[in-house]
Amino acid sequence: MPGAPKRLRCEYLENPLGIDARSPRLSWWLDDDRPAEIQTAYRIIAASDPAQLDEESGDLWDTGRTESSATAHIAWAGTALRSRQRVYWKVRAFDSDGIGSAWSRAATFEMGLLDVDDWRARWIGSPMMGGKRTSAQVPALRRAFDLPQPPESARLYISALGIYDVEINGKRAIDFELAPGWTDYRKRVRYQVVDVTAHLVAGENVIGVLLGDGWYCGLLGESERQQ
C-alpha cells in the first residue's frame, strides 16, 4: 500500500495566506519507497470546514478518483473562490495496482484580495522628505486601538512604497525581510498577508510601522535618490 502523500503545497507554498490566483495550483509528494512505483490516479477533497475532511467530504471541491500521474500544478476546478476565503484540503494517491493510499494530512490556503473593491485601506505616510543624495529620517507610524476580547482570527494586509517593518504590542509581527519586494512601481505594488491573531489581546493594542526608502526612492549606485 502506498504511503500517504506529503509536502502538500498551494502555488509552491505551505499553508499560504493571500493567494491571488483564482485557480490556484496544488501539488504534493508521493511517499512510496517501492522501486519504479508510480501514481496512476488521485483524489482531492477541499472543504470550508476541516471537520468535513474527516468525513471524506468536500463542499468546495471533490475531484473523485482522477486517472492521472500528475502530482503538481493541479489547477483548482471547484467552487469559485472568494476574497479572504480559507480552504482546507487533502489528497490520496493510487498506485499502479489501483490501490489507494491513506489520506494525507490536511493542508490549508487562504485567498487574498481578488478585486479592487475589496481594498478598504488608504495609503498613509509621512511628510518627511530627504534630499537628492540624503535619505529622510526613518518615518515611524503608530496607532492604538481597543478590542473587547482577543480575536479568534486576525489578518494584517500590508504594503509600502519602499520597505517596511511592523510591530504589534512591541513584538515584531513579520518573519521576512525587505518587504514588500521590488516591483515596477508605475504598474503594481506587492502586499503581504500576515496572521497576527497571537499578537492581539483584549484591551489596548498598538501597531507600529517603520518605513525605509528601499527601491522606491533609495540610492542606487552613484545615481541620485529615486523619485
More confident position, 53 or 222 = 53
Q: What is the pLDDT of the chain when averaged over all its residues?
A: 92
Domain with CATH 2.60.120.260 in the chain: 121-217
* Residue 168 pLDDT greater than 90, yes or no: yes
Cα separation, 42 vs 40, whole angstroms: 7
pLDDT tens for 115-157 read 989 998 899 987 776 666 666 678 899 999 999 999 999 999 9
Domain with CATH 2.60.40.10 in the chain: 3-110
Q: How confident is the model at residue 195 (pLDDT cuts 50, 70, 90)?
A: very high
pLDDT at 222: 62
pLDDT at 165: 97
Which architecture characterizes domain 121-217 according to CATH?
Sandwich (2.60)
Gyration radius from the chain CA atoms: 22
Please report, rounded to a whole number, the percentage of residues in the chain having pLDDT higher than 90: 77
For the entire predicted model, the pTM comes to 0.89
CATH number of 3-110, picked from 2.102.10.10, 3.40.640.10, 2.60.40.10, 3.30.70.3270: 2.60.40.10
Q: Is the dihedral of CA 20, 26, 27, 32 positive or negative?
A: positive
Nearest to 210 by CA among 104, 86, 125: 125
Which residues are bridge partners to 140 per DSSP? 210
pLDDT at 133: 63
Mean pLDDT of 216-220: 75
